[in-house]
């Protein structure tokens, strides 16, 4: 099973700033798939667009697995 980690940057940030690339590489080295989306309007964030964005990428990057019934 693929294990995934989502990292969400903060206000005024982006996936390429600060500690995020380093943490992403550290977690990737442990065998996780790391997803770091660019969130909308980071200098003036509003909750509704951020919820919409997180819902979109989590649905796109999360596959529900059905239990093996053999």
Extended beta strands in 1-70, E state: 4-6, 33-35
Beta carbons of 39 and 9 less than 8 angstroms apart: yes
pTM of the entire structure? Answer: 0.75
pLDDT (average), residues 42-58:
91
Token digits for 7?
Answer: 């990292």
Compute the distance between CA of residue 12 and CA of residue 45 in angstroms, rounded to an integer.
Answer: 8
Domain ranges of the chain: 4-60
Neighbours of 70 (CB within 10 A): 3
Give residue 63's pLDDT.
57
Lowest mean pLDDT across 33-37, 52-56, 66-70: 66-70
Compute the distance between CA of residue 59 and CA of residue 53 in angstroms, rounded to an integer.
Answer: 10
């Amino acid at each position: 099973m693929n294990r995934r980690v989502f990292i969400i940057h903060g206000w005024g940030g982006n996936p390429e700033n600060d500690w995020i690339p380093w943490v992403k590489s550290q977690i990737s080295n442990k065998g996780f798939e790391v997803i770091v989306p660019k969130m909308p309007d980071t200098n003036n964030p509003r909750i509704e667009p951020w919820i919409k964005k997180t819902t979109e990428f989590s649905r796109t990057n999360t596959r529900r697995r059905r239990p093996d019934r053999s």
